Amino acid sequence: MRIIQRSSACMFQHVRYEKLNSRQRENFNFQKVSALLADYGFATLRLSDDWNGADFIANNIDGTFLLVQLKSRWGINRKYEGKNLWMAFPCAGVWYLVEHDEMVKQAIGTTNIAQTDSWKQKGAYSNTNVPSGLREFLAQYRLGAAESLAVEADAE
């Protein structure tokens, strides 16, 4: 373990996501989405194992709790249906938080995903890009950039 004894901004270097292993990427993604959710009044609690499909719980200042499955890309999966899960995932540098079952309903209704071998045989479908038929639907679930929200709050 390396302990930093003095403070200097030049001592810290940004990490390259593609150089992280899978566990490090999951930690990285959790921290990124947690920072964004804080701008919406959420505190997050990481779970040590998937509980009812959730990787973490997001607790809003209004008392709302969300069970969240964290993904590194857009996707749907039958194993998450009926569990009241929300999916947090990045796409093209933007994070989204959307109710899984509603996303499945929209995906089946607006794309050809239901006809794919992946959905038919495995009950799952994912992609690094959001299917074009879902982009309009997902726009309402887009989380703003943390930096822009913080600047807006300082200006008020």
**pLDDT tens digit sequence for 129-155:** 898 889 899 999 999 754 444 444 444
Which of these, 142, 18, 138, 27, lies nearest to 76 by C-alpha position? Answer: 138
- The token pair at 117 is 């071998």
Domain ranges of the chain: 16-155
User: What is the rounded average pLDDT of the residues 10-21?
Assistant: 84
Question: pLDDT tens digits, residue range 21-60?
Answer: 999 999 999 999 999 999 999 999 999 888 889 999 999 9
Question: Is residue 70 pLDDT above 80, yes or no?
Answer: yes
CATH code for the domain defined by 16-155 = 3.40.1350
pLDDT at 64: 95
Give φ, ψ of 106 to 5 degrees: -65, -40
pLDDT at 154: 44
pLDDT at 144: 72
Residue-averaged pLDDT of the chain: 87
Distances (CA, A) of 36 to 9, 104, 108: 23, 24, 29
pLDDT at 51: 84
66, 44 in Cβ contact below 8 A?
no
